[in-house]
Amino acid sequence: MDGKLIVISGFSGVGKGTVIRRLMEENEGFAFSISCTTRYRREGEVDGRDYFFLSHESFRDGIERGRFLEYAQYSGNYYGTPAQYVFNQMARGTHIILDIEYQGAFQVKEKYPDAVMLFLIPPSARTLVDRLVNRGTETREQIRSRLAQALTEADQAEHYDGILINDRLEQTLADILRIVEEPKCAEAYRRQNTALVQEIKKDINGVLKTW
């Protein structure tokens, strides 16, 4: 049987990277789709492990050659999923995880309606701001841009199959595994957490006013 396509989106700083890493460490049969990006490499990131870091020119060349399953612009840079790797993994029966933002996520869903689409949210706006500040990889201005972006992303959450609160890691992992096994149960997670998305949005707006 073909592996499933699992799309994980969520605000910058929500902890997607950790969730995905642990999901793969603790479970067999999952692979991560390494994206291409034109953004600068953050300290500690490795080319070919975290991303394939490309020039704008190489990225545009990839677009012209049809190498991306999806691609989008985010905070002034291109991000895209190399198609071939995803196809190979699925054909081998491996579940393939995509950490991508909503424009790309919807392109994937259109091509693969069976893709499992999950949106991760923090337990509160404050947790998100603290995580962004504490990881220390962005300037204050970049954090502002990512918080502003989160407001736009929040409006897309309800179009995902499931909305999961990433509060306790073990719980998040269990929730994801449950949904991968039984995609229909994603809807319950969406219904349950839609109101919290709006609350977080309101609070981020408040934070931005005094940023």
3-state secondary structure of 41: coil
Distance separating alpha carbons of residues 197 and 105, to the nearest angstrom? 18
CB nearer to ligand 5GP: give 57 or 182.
57
15 binds ligand 5GP (CB under 6 A): no
The neighbour count for residue 48, using CB atoms within 10 Å, is 8
122 binds ligand 5GP (CB under 6 A): no
Q: Which tokens hold the place of 188?
A: 């319950």
Q: Which tokens hold the place of 50?
A: 């975290």
| 168: nearest Cα among 109, 207, 120 | 120
Distance separating alpha carbons of residues 81 and 68, to the nearest angstrom? 5
35 binds ligand 5GP (CB under 6 A): yes
Q: Which tokens hold the place of 12?
A: 């910058």
Considering only 5, 59, 81, 150, the residue that binds ligand 5GP (CB under 6 A) is: 81
Q: DSSP E strands: which ranges in 5-157? A: 5-10, 30-32, 35-37, 51-53, 68-74, 77-82, 95-99, 116-121
Listed ranges 54-62, 95-103, 159-167, 194-202: which one lies at the site for ligand 5GP (CB under 6 A): 95-103
Site size for ligand 5GP (CB under 6 A):
16
CB nearer to ligand 5GP: give 9 or 172.
9
Listed ranges 22-30, 100-108, 127-135, 158-166: which one lies at the site for ligand 5GP (CB under 6 A): 100-108
39 binds ligand 5GP (CB under 6 A): yes
CB nearer to ligand 5GP: give 103 or 127.
103
Considering only 30, 32, 59, 79, the residue that binds ligand 5GP (CB under 6 A) is: 79
Residues in contact with ligand 5GP by the rule CB under 6 A: 9, 12, 35, 39, 70-72, 74, 79-81, 99-101, 103-104
